[in-house]
A and B are shown apart, each in its own frame.
Chain A
Amino acid sequence: MPRQTPSQTIGPFFSFSLVAGGENVLIDERSSGERILVEGRVLDGAGEPIADALVEIWQADSNGIFKHLADPRHEDADPFFAGFGRSATDEDGRYWFRTIKPGPVPTEDGQQQAPHINVTVFARGMPIQAITRIYFADETANERDPVLASIADPQRQQTLIARREQSADGIARYCLDIVLQGEHETVFFDA
């Protein structure tokens, strides 16, 4: 059996290959669901913004369906929704995505996971990516979400929950910083 290839840092110079522009917009005018803006900063252990991080997201459509063969409902997935997006952080460490609010995602035993976005963070100084999730503060389903419930410390749970703010154009804005280290360190997962 071959063994896994080791990860290496993405380094500081990925953007001319990985980011042409527009990869952080997952929707067009035909996509169905509630349009939202998801944004935040990526911060290091000193609280300094990380200006050379790459944030990737993967999420279900507004009905909680993934456009992927592993999802038995994939034929019903929204053809006008990308599901995947990528955002390089700017000088202030900021990432942002224009997407839709995902629907709840079923588990194998018939329960539901609260709406969430899967997140991968890459950066210079990270030899391997970190994975986390973004949940939405206004979802009562958060209280029954099995992944959130597995985080014993309620304060650490909060590191995954984006607060909702109204933006000037009426589109809901969800804000969440990703903190790599320190007192407010984001919960990162091992899956």
Chain B
Amino acid sequence: MTRLDRLKPLDWTVHPPYLHEPYRSTVSRSPRQRLVPLPQTLSELTGPVYGDGDVEPLDSDLTRNAVRNGEPIGERIIVVGRVLDDDGRPIPNALVEIWQANAAGRYIHKNEVHDAPLDPNFTGAGRCLTNAQGEYRFVTIRPGAYPWGNHDNAWRPAHIHLSIFGRNFLQRLVTQMYFPGDPLLPLDPIYNGVPEEARQRLISQYAHDVTEPAWALGFRFDVVLRGSQATPFESEGGS
């Protein structure tokens, strides 16, 4: 069979370790044995393939995809970004799924206990595919901070959860996007589990070119997945 294009290793200088004691649930849920090296075979270098039939246009507009009797409450925002690999190549047809709390910091979930109102017109769930340039775009409501039980007076900074499928099983990434200037960030053990020099890349940037007049603020958040071990051909980066 033809030679497989292998991926660079996971960069453990940016990813959080399994065990980060200030995030208490990691204590009993972190593997402790050394990871076993796994060759990158056909099983790892393939993965689910998505196409236009898998998403509806409305899926990426969270201000409209759950409307029952009016508009969702809160500050409308537009979140855009690109899905790339760490060679700088865009990844088209990447499935991006998101979920988030509403403006009051409340999720729709049976285990949610936060005493904040649900929004009848907002579920906080969306999905889209990246286009040929690797770009995605969501319209949503700026999520609220919410309390959690990790420690006394613990609050999660406002965030949007993202789940991304790249080209194969090994590029799979689940992460969270935060907002610039959030005073809760330095107090959050989930954010702080990431090595310090890499934390910044979890924070979206305010993007005035994305902001739409008299309608919604724009934020930009690029997502970078593991790239190829082989040096990309120069022609691939050409115009």
Contact = CB atoms under 8 A, between A and B. Distances in A.
Interface of A: 1-18, 44-46, 48, 50, 52, 56, 58-60, 66-72, 82-84, 105-108, 113, 116, 118, 120, 122-131, 146-147, 150-151, 156, 180-182, 185-191
A91 to B, nearest CB: 10
Nearest to A15: B109
Contacts of B18: 126-128, 130
A13 B99 contact: yes
B87 A1 contact: yes
Closest 10 CB pairs of A and B: A125-B25, A17-B99, A68-B46, A127-B16, A125-B29, A17-B125, A189-B38, A84-B48, A190-B35, A191-B38
Contact of A18 (B43, B99, B175): B99
Nearest to A185: B33
Contacts of B57: none
A120 B174 CA distance: 11
A25 to B, nearest CB: 15
B36 A187 contact: yes
A5 B222 CA distance: 8
Interface residues of B, number: 82
A68 B31 CA distance: 31
Nearest to B172: A120
Interface of B: 1-5, 9-11, 14-18, 20, 23-33, 35-49, 84, 86-88, 97-99, 101, 107-109, 111-112, 123-127, 161, 163, 168-170, 172-176, 190-191, 193-195, 198-199, 201-202, 222-226
Contact of B41 (A10, A11, A113): A113
B36 A188 contact: yes
Most buried by B among A2, A4, A52: A4
A52 B107 CA distance: 15
Given A58-B46, A146-B39, 18 more contacts: A2-B222, A3-B14, A3-B86, A5-B202, A7-B16, A9-B174, A16-B124, A17-B125, A18-B163, A44-B28, A58-B48, A68-B46, A84-B48, A106-B42, A180-B29, A188-B33, A189-B37, A191-B44
A172 B232 CA distance: 45
Contacts of B112: 13
A58 B201 contact: no
B109 A70 contact: no
Given A4-B11, A17-B124, A126-B29, A147 B38 contact: yes
B222 A8 contact: no
